[in-house]
Structures are given as C-alpha cells and as structure tokens.
Amino acid sequence: MNSAFWISNLTLTNFRSYDHLKLEFDPSPVVITGPNGSGKTNILEAVSLLASGRGLRMARLSEIDKRQKSDSPYNVFGWAINAAVNLGENQTVISTARETSRDNIDKRIIKIDGEIKRNSSALESAFSLIYFVPQMNHIFTEGRRTRLAFLDRLTMLFDYGHPKRLGVYEKYSAERRRLLKENPDEIWLSATESTMAEQAVAIAASRLEALEYIGKALAEFDSRFPRARMEVKGLVEDNFPKMPALQLEEFFKAKLEEARKLDFFSGRTNYGVHRSDFSVVYAENGALAENCSTGEQKALLLSIILGAARAKATWFNAAPVVLLDEIVAHLDDERREELFGQIASLGIQAWMTATHPKFFKNFAGKMQFFSVHDSVIC
C-alpha cells in the first residue's frame, strides 16, 4: 500500500467564521456536510493554506481574519492555522498565520516544526496538496492564465522548487520592465535577462516533467473518467526537446534582447514562460476541453487531478491530500462510484463537502463524517 499524506489534527484561530476550532482526524477520507453558508469551504480553505499560495479562494490574507464588531479588542489579531501532517512514520507540524504588524498586512508567517521559514516553498517539501473547487469548473474556457496557474499547481506536486522559481522569474521580469523604462543600462539588462532565461528553462522543464508523470499515470490506469491528453505550448517549452538546456537559455536570452524595444513600447514582457498555454484534449474524441460540455470538462479536470495523485503515489510514495469542494454532488452515479473507488485504492485523505450526506451513505466506517451548522461542528 502506498503512503499518502494525511492530516491528524487541525486548529483554526480567528479564521473566517471560526473563533476557535480544533478537529482530529484519522487517515480515511473526510466528509463535511451542512447547509449553504454553514462553514464547510472555510475549513477546506484553511487546509489549502497549508500549501504555498493564497489558498483556494485566492483571498487577500487580511480578508480571512474573522470579522469582529468594530469595538472588539480582537481586531488586532490575524488568523492562524496549526496542523499536524503525516506521511508514513513522519509527522510534521505546520503553523501559518497572518503577520499583523501594520506595514505587513498581507504577509504570511510559516513555521515548520516550530522553525520559521522565510520561503513558502518550504511548505511544498513538508506537505502535498491539490484541490478542485467550483470556481475551477470554467478553467478551460476562462483563459490562458487560469489554465497555466492550474498547470503550475500540478507542477509543484512534483517539484518543490517550482513556486520559488516562478517568483524569481516574475521578479526579474518586473525588474527588466523597470530598467527598460527608467534606466536601460546594458550590463544590468543583460544580467537580468540571463537570470530570467535560467529560471524560464527550469520552469519549462518542470512543467514538462509533471505532464509526463501525470500522462503516464493516466495511460497506465484504466479509469471510468475520460482520459485527458495534456500539452503545454510556449516559446521555451516548444524548444525544450530540440536543444540542450544551456543552448535553450542562450536562445531565450537572445529573444529577450531582441524584444527590448517591443517590450518597452508595449510595457509588458511579450515572450516567456508566463505566456505559455496549457491545453487539454478529451483523448477519446480529440475535442479540445474548452469545446466539451461542462460535465465533460469537470470530469477531465477530476481525471487530471486523480492522475496527478496517482503519479505522486506511484513514483514518490507520497500521495497528496485532495480537497474536493462541492464536487461530489454534481457527478453522476457511475463517476461518483469511480471517484470513491480511486480514493480508496490510492488510500488518500480526500476532503469532500456536500450539502447532504446521502451521497456517502454506503461509506459509514470507511470515511469520517463531520456535520457543520453555523460554524459549529457536530
């Protein structure tokens, strides 16, 4: 049996609708049911903040603080999450909170086993997580950036350094735009472009590798979910198989140099890995995901997420926790059965929410049930 990450306890303080909440879990799937607005997604959001980034709602960190009456003394406190995550024999305690000093209103503090980490990619090496929330239903039709962000989340599962590299690439792109505008010094520009090129090639390599893992997991496993054929297209990715890495860096660096004038006039970076496109095809009929029905798009997305979980389980012995917010109710019976079957065979701690427990009625004893009303758990 493969190892899978699981959360054994979770404490929320001053988090959204919860003043204080402490929950304990075993490794089995977690089911949270309750009416709309009862506080289900808030719990999943907290779990999603155990990974780097801004959580499944992409909220501003200060928005997450529990709203207090304006005269309450508690206003000065930011939210905090504390969790114990487990893999095999290892347990890691992750704490994260909003920095509340005035000039730092959107900064997150991260502690792993009591030690403050400066870089949030420390989270990726301690814990592994992937989520599917209703806002992602339209990922294929919404546009390139949303799809690329999803691909980058998948990539993080396989490469802990990926988020940090994306951050460095973004920082140097902004620096290059500033230099072009204010101080087009050749030496600085060239050094900045070298760093961008170095990061870009590593970013492209990680994305391609992640897709290879997921593609392989999907190809090797017979599933009732539609098979997805995935591709990432972009200047750097397209040339990756054609040149050795160093040559590709030089190639992209030359492209950046060539585009200085264009980038100066347009005020943006016209070439690079931030402009790549992640495309998904419904393998059986060759249709692009964006042209599939909404039901098929959801099934494709779930298929990719399960493929990623399977790949991490198979080749890294570390299946991620999978958060599925309001997903189960919208699947037909056959796909729901397939989903539960795969969750069980992978041994993953999937966190599933629904307004009604009826979908899970055959799983008493195999899943752990929590029912929530007005942010009180019973």
Ligand X SMILES: Nc1ncnc2c1ncn2[C@@H]1O[C@H](COP(=O)(O)OP(=O)(O)O)[C@@H](O)[C@H]1O
Interface residues with ligand X (CB under 6 A) are: 16-17, 34, 36-42, 63-67
| 375 scored as a contact of Mg ion (CB under 5 A) | no
Shortest CB 325 distance to ligand X, Å: 7
37 binds, among ligand X, Mg ion, none (CB under 5 to 8 A by kind): ligand X
Q: Identify the three-state secondary structure at position 116.
A: strand
- Beta-bridge partners for 321: 129
Separation of alpha carbons 188 and 170, rounded Å: 16
Contacting range for Mg ion; rule: CB under 5 A; set: 17-25, 40-48, 259-267, 362-370: 40-48
Separation of alpha carbons 347 and 36, rounded Å: 29
Separation of alpha carbons 186 and 219, rounded Å: 49
96 binds, among Mg ion, ligand X, none (CB under 5 to 8 A by kind): none
Separation of alpha carbons 231 and 249, rounded Å: 21
Shortest CB 108 distance to ligand X, Å: 16
- Beta-bridge partners for 376: 373
Q: Identify the three-state secondary structure at position 358.
A: helix
143 binds, among Mg ion, ligand X, none (CB under 5 to 8 A by kind): none
CA distances from residue 43 to 54, 339, 355 in whole angstroms, order as listed: 14, 22, 14
CB nearer to ligand X: pick between 16 and 253: 16
CB nearer to ligand X: pick between 60 and 224: 60
Shortest CB 37 distance to ligand X, Å: 4
Shortest CB 368 distance to ligand X, Å: 18
CB nearer to ligand X: pick between 48 and 199: 48
Q: Which residues of 345-360 are buried (b: 16+ CB within 10 A; e: fewer)?
A: ebbbbbbbbbeeeebb
Handedness of CA 167, 169, 174, 179 (dihedral sign): positive
CB nearer to ligand X: pick between 63 and 332: 63
* 236 touches 204 (CB < 8 A): yes
Separation of alpha carbons 62 and 79, rounded Å: 8
17 binds, among ligand X, Mg ion, none (CB under 5 to 8 A by kind): ligand X
Shortest CB 19 distance to ligand X, Å: 9
Shortest CB 240 distance to ligand X, Å: 41
CB nearer to ligand X: pick between 21 and 300: 21
* Residues within window 172-231 making contact with Mg ion, judged by CB under 5 A: none
Separation of alpha carbons 66 and 294, rounded Å: 35
Shortest CB 16 distance to ligand X, Å: 4
Strands 321-324 and 350-354: parallel
Separation of alpha carbons 365 and 29, rounded Å: 10
Rounded to a whole number of angstroms, the distance between the first and last alpha carbons of the chain is 32
Angle at 15 between CA 327 and CA 121, to 5 degrees: 75
Residues 154-173: x where in contact with Mg ion by CB under 5 A, - otherwise, as a string:
--------------------
67 binds, among Mg ion, ligand X, none (CB under 5 to 8 A by kind): ligand X
Shortest CB 13 distance to ligand X, Å: 13
CB nearer to ligand X: pick between 29 and 34: 34
* 180 touches 261 (CB < 8 A): no
CB nearer to ligand X: pick between 48 and 276: 48
Neighbour order of strands in the sheet with 228-233: 228-233, 277-282, 287-288
The one among 14, 38, 41, 52 contacting Mg ion by CB under 5 A: 41
CB nearer to Mg ion: pick between 41 and 303: 41
66 binds, among Mg ion, ligand X, none (CB under 5 to 8 A by kind): ligand X
Shortest CB 93 distance to ligand X, Å: 24
Contacting range for Mg ion; rule: CB under 5 A; set: 34-42, 263-271, 301-309, 368-376: 34-42
CB nearer to ligand X: pick between 249 and 325: 325
Residues within the interface to Mg ion (CB under 5 A):
41
